[in-house]
Chains A and B, each alone.
Chain A
Amino acid sequence: MSEGKILDIAHISFLDMIKVMITLSGAASAKGTLIRNAIKTAERISEIDYPTFDDYLAAVENATNPITMIEGKVTHIGQFVFGLQNCPFGPSIKDYNQVFEKLPDGYADFTAEFNKTSNVTDQFRVGEGAGVSPFCSVHQPMRSAFAEKIRIGGKKIQIFQLGCKSGGGKKGFADKWLQAAGVPKEVVDKILDNHMCCYSLKIEE
């Protein structure tokens, strides 16, 4: 007798909820709703000021950094460029696929919509090709919005989403943000060989 697996109903319903949103009000509206939701979540966290960048990195290690708390531990590759080994939505997708084998229809349109230039993706420096699934439209803006609550040495920080990798291994790059952050694409490409997500952090002058 084969053993079953207990799934997280929140994972299943969240993925289906995205599909319902796309069907009922279109991909653009669904994208906006998810991003707004991410921003609203960020509004609820407290502001924090790390004295130095090393203190920031230490908070990542301790998992007390707000960004780490939502996405897991990230590796500082160097030059303020980070690589995230696991996608925070990985478990949700895995659970869903165990039951339904493939992700809901409409996700492709949604991802294309997220990658389109818009005021909000410009504001948070996300998308622009770095989106590889609808979950990126939650994860990337949420990280950037959280970053707005963080200071290092009293200075604001900004996140630039540089690239992301799908579970199947295909990489997506945000040329616009690569250029803005001054990070060569080859570097990000290499980082994504061993990570799912790549971004850079800038401390404002």
Chain B
Amino acid sequence: MDKNSRMKNVLIVDDERYFLMSLVEGLGTYAADFNTLTAENGKKAVDVLNRTGIDLVVTDLKMPEMDGFELLAFMTKNYPAIPVIVMTAYCTPEIKTRLELIGSFKVLEKPLDFKDLVDCIFAELANISKGYIRGITLPAFLQLVEMERKTCTLTIRSRGRKGFLYFSDGELMDADNGREQQEKAALDIVCWDEAEIEISSVCREKNRNIPTSLSHLLMEGFRLKDEEKRSGGNGGSQYPEAALTATTGAEDFSSILAESGPDTGADTDIKSKQNQLPVDLSIIEGMTKEEAMASAKEILNEFSKLQGVDAVCLVGRDGFLLDSISRTGIDTEMIGAIASSGFGASESMGRQLGKGVMSISMIEFDKGPVMFSPVGDDAFLVIVAEKDSNLGMIRLKLKKHSAELATAAAI
């Protein structure tokens, strides 16, 4: 039996031997559904967890040597994807508070109703739906998790490293790479190559400790990956500290020496303008315009194959077309020109309303939507779609490819 199809293991942890024996006997009825293992305290439970693939832990809180709280703390740190059912005879507000501080657990009060326990075990096992993901990159998978608003813990393994990403309702709540937590750890993990992804539909983290959007983290991760490649890195180094402060590559555009309108004596005050690009310009240095545009063309081609997409246009912010793929009969030059006003107006509105950076603007028509999405500071993408188009997939692709398109547009 492989990892995915083996019998589930449930570990019961309690220092009351007779209670434990009676539980084992009772749960034996379900031997065809799961194995029942036991441990008399937290310390022994840790041994079992380290030796055996456990899918669910049912634990008491008051135990000698290592009590339930210590066990929960250990599991939160080392096995956050394993769900836990807590049994306690004293569910006081203080205990509830302590449990909440550690994480999110199902709590059953003692004396136990055996049927409740069985129902709870089956419910948790059904929820686990643990799986291993292969054949998809980590960034693409994370976007799917966000898009599908999944609640889960992802265990990421890559080249001997192990990290956890916690999602609740599609939002990245926290991350842990064994050395760091929160955003620092997330930025490290999303850069890992050849990642093996284990997904468990449990998220013990209740607080959102990473305020940054996933798309921003991925963009930054993408940039770092390229940076690492160019510097000959091995893909396994710690996330560079500098990258945390310099979240975007910046290029100082030369100030433009021009101070007035011509022929009138009235000067126009032209300041030097610093234009920030979300692409690392050193990538551009090693790339010809043809290479960049060929790469952009491939991406546009990928969009054009999506269900219901009629046209996809990479347009300069000035409305002039950089490249496009469309069905016959669609005037993409015209789309670029018109979309430039629409896109610019959407951005202006966001700016006026203090809504921050625009990610996607969508206009719904009877026959389908038109979407605009910025790609870097120099261009935007226009997607003309039919009513039956897969908007989720379009959004996913936009997030996935915006950095590459931005690089091409900047060239």
List chain A positions with a Cβ less than 8 A from chain B.
23-26, 28-33, 35-36, 86-87, 89-90, 93-94, 97, 102-103, 107-109, 111-113, 115-116, 118-120, 129, 131-136, 164-172, 196-197
Give the chain B neighbours of A129 by CB distance below 8 A: 256-257
B257 touching A109, Cβ below 8 Å: no
Q: Which of A29, A86, A168 contacts B319 (CB 8 A)?
A: A29
CB distance from A20 to the nearest CB of B (A): 11
Give the chain B neighbours of A102 by CB distance below 8 A: 266
SS class, residues of chain B in contact with chain A: loop
Q: Mark interface residues in B237-274 (1 if CB within 8 Å of A CB, else 0).
A: 00000000000000001001111111111111111010
Given A118-B316, A166-B262, A166-B267, is A29 in contact with B256 using a C-beta cutoff of 8 Å?
A: no
B264 touching A93, Cβ below 8 Å: yes
C-alpha gap A25/B268 in the complex (Å): 21
CB distance from A96 to the nearest CB of B (A): 8
Give the chain B neighbours of A103 by CB distance below 8 A: 261, 266, 268
Within 8 A of A (CB), among B191-217: none
Q: Is B390 an interface residue (CB 8 A)?
A: no
Q: Which of A26, A32, A90 contacts B337 (CB 8 A)?
A: A32
Q: Is B348 an interface residue (CB 8 A)?
A: yes
Q: How many residues of B contact A (CB 8 A)?
A: 33
Give the chain B neighbours of A108 by CB distance below 8 A: 268-271
CB distance from B154 to the nearest CB of A (A): 39
Give the chain A neighbours of B259 by CB distance below 8 A: 132, 166, 168, 170
C-alpha gap A172/B270 in the complex (Å): 12
Given A33-B340, A119-B320, is A167 in contact with B271 using a C-beta cutoff of 8 Å?
A: no
C-alpha gap A169/B267 in the complex (Å): 9
Q: Is B399 an interface residue (CB 8 A)?
A: no
Identify the closest chain A residue to B377 (Cβ). A28
B266 touching A93, Cβ below 8 Å: yes
By Cβ-Cβ distance, the 5 closest A-B pairs, closest first, are: A25-B344, A90-B263, A32-B318, A166-B260, A28-B317
Q: Mark interface residues in B312-352 (1 if CB within 8 Å of A CB, else 0).
A: 00001111101000000000000001001101110110000
C-alpha gap A201/B340 in the complex (Å): 32
Given A23-B348, A24-B345, A133-B258, is A167 in contact with B318 using a C-beta cutoff of 8 Å?
A: no
Give the chain A neighbours of B340 by CB distance below 8 A: 25, 28-29, 32-33
